[in-house]
Structure 1
């Protein structure tokens, strides 16, 4: 398969990234249809090129082995991390934020990015709740811990 098969996925990612910003009201009401259109841009040519049974098998395989296992993992991590409370009186200073990001990056290499993100996102948000400009902290958190 060529690289062209990845273009709908890139389009989906671009739609998710830019849709809420560029066409907010359309995205708000029709994001499911937009995602389905991007999926159809893969499934329909796949069915034409390789046959409907092969396309159906590929979609079923993706749903059962990739998607469902990821959803089960997220459910388990959310359940487990919901019972973990990292308490303390931390304030979102640049030094504290750098320390939390460092701990998150180390945890991500030990327990995985999803687990580290689920455990540390609440303390990071709580530490920075009094800061007027804190979006950059979440962006760095996504880059360093979640990615």
Structure 2
């Protein structure tokens, strides 16, 4: 498939209330006035990011969030964005789903197998702050003083 054909198949919607930028269901962002597609960069966690200008200020936005706000149904602000194939580089609408942020989700310490009813409970028992545990969940490269890794369980 040639690039021109792919662009025609994409569905474009405005970014938020802005008439300056549009996002496609394939995860591309363009300036609607010039038609120029914005360059996507990646942050240290692997999230696809794009720089947009709003009120003469440069702002860094997650492409997955822009796609979710435009193409997915549900409350994006109170949900986590889940990548169906596990890759944060694939930010098309067909690869994204919204998962509700639930309080008290069970968490497991990978090294010991211990299961806690919430991040708060794990924090009290282990002696790590809630924010440190949150930063380590699902990100094996994030470290803490005990060298523990954490994951949510169903």
TM over 0.5: no
Higher helix share: 1
Larger Rg: 1
TM-score (norm 1): 0.28
Higher strand share: 2
Q: Which structure has the higher relative contact order (CA within 8 Å, separation 6+)?
A: 1
TM-score (norm 2): 0.27
